[in-house]
Amino acid sequence: MKKVLIVLLSAGALAALAWHLTRPEPIAVRLAEVGRGEVRATVANTRVGTVEACRRARMSPAAAGQVAALEVVEGQNVAADQLLLEIWNRDLAAQLELAESEAGQAHAQAREACALAQGARREADRQAKLRRNKLVAEEVADDAQTRAESSQAACEAALAATRVSAARIAVARESLERTRLRAPFDGVVAELDVKLGEFLTPSPPGIATVPAVDLIDPDCIYVSAPIDEVDAPRIVTGMSACVTLDAFPDRVCDASVRRIANYVLDREKQARTVEVEVAFGPAVDTARFLPGYSADIEVLIESRGDVLRVPSEAVIEGDHVLVYDAASGLLARRAVTTGLANWEYTEITDGLAAGEQVVLSTGRAGVVDGASVTPEAAP
């Protein structure tokens, strides 16, 4: 009997040793403790956004010709209506001078004609008075009246000629002004694509050409970014937003949605988006944010504070997590009910308790329900 017992014990020991030697090593996993805190539901852009200026004008002169004067350089601050460049226009300037001279002549002729009309009217009134007293013949009075009316018509024609002259001056001035390019607002010259003496040609209808001057107002900027058509209906103007620029490490959250496009862009297949504009708050120093910088936006849809939450990477397929049992070193699959979520945290409304530990490295091989694991040291 003793020999049988010894044999059985030896066999059990050998089996235990074999299991110990052949069992799989525990998998190292990253863990996170279930805790409480704020969870924010947000919407972010699908493709990179851009810092834009509220006012930006890419301009060229309305008339073709050779650049005779270039009054600015790149980076120069300019005031509204300041002359930027001028096309050769001596012929138009001469036409304006001629129109002004003709206008002066027309005014002089009008004064002469109207003075004669006034004299003829006085003479007609005297002859009419004499006719009533039967001191002159009726024909004399009628001739005086006819001359007065004719003189008045000549006066009116001369006055009309002065108005025509004024219109010619206006046309000549506008033709001359078409050769001049002026700043439509206060701003900075971002780019000049023209040199003194070069010839400029306006864009033909429907064909865009490179503008001669790119003028930007840097005092007012915003971020424009494409939002997926599925997320766009959740956004309304006035919602708070955060902006991240690749050129700067800090995240700016003093911003809000100022405009949502009322149309959908389908520039790429399977990528329909709605353009959303975000404006910075008054406390943000926007002088460092240059138009053209790439930027991402994150719009706050809803926020809940002091709720049970886990890192979003711990939630698998949106409805379960892997819970770590420290006593056994095993993982257990646990169904959960989620609430608000973003890329960082997910609200847990049912299925977990504060203090429990869930697996973050769910994508590692072998990390499944019932797996033996060991906590990985935090970096």
Tokens of 311: 């890192």
> Contact, 372 vs 330, CB < 8 A?
yes
Tokens of 296: 């991402």
Burial of 346 (0-12, 13-18, 19+ CB in 10 A): buried
Helix, strand, coil distribution of the chain in percent, nearest 5: 30, 35, 35
> Contact, 275 vs 266, CB < 8 A?
no
Sort strands 77-78 and 31-33 into parallel, antiparallel or unpaired. unpaired
Q: What is the dihedral of CA 294, 300, 306, 309, to 10 degrees?
A: -60
CATH number of this structure's domain 24-39+305-375, picked from the four choices 3.90.1010.10, 3.90.550.10, 2.40.420.20, 2.130.10.10 = 2.40.420.20
The full DSSP string for 27-82 is: EEE-EEE-EEEEEEEEEE-SS-EEEEESSEEEE--SS-EEEEEE---TT-EE-TT-
Divide the 379 residues of the chain into consecutive groups of 10 and give the mean pLDDT of each group: 58 54 72 92 89 91 90 93 94 92 93 92 89 84 90 93 94 93 92 90 72 89 92 93 91 93 78 91 87 92 92 91 90 92 90 92 87 78
In the chain, where are the structural domains located?
Answer: 24-39+305-375, 44-54+218-304, 63-86+180-215, 90-177
Alpha carbon distances (Å) from 33 to 19, 336, 375:
32, 15, 12
Which has the closest alpha carbon to 35: 331, 332, 308, 319?
Answer: 308
Fold of the CATH domain 44-54+218-304 = Elongation Factor Tu (Ef-tu); domain 3 (2.40.30)
CATH classification code of 63-86+180-215:
2.40.50.100
Q: What is the dihedral of CA 176, 182, 185, 190, to 10 degrees?
A: 160
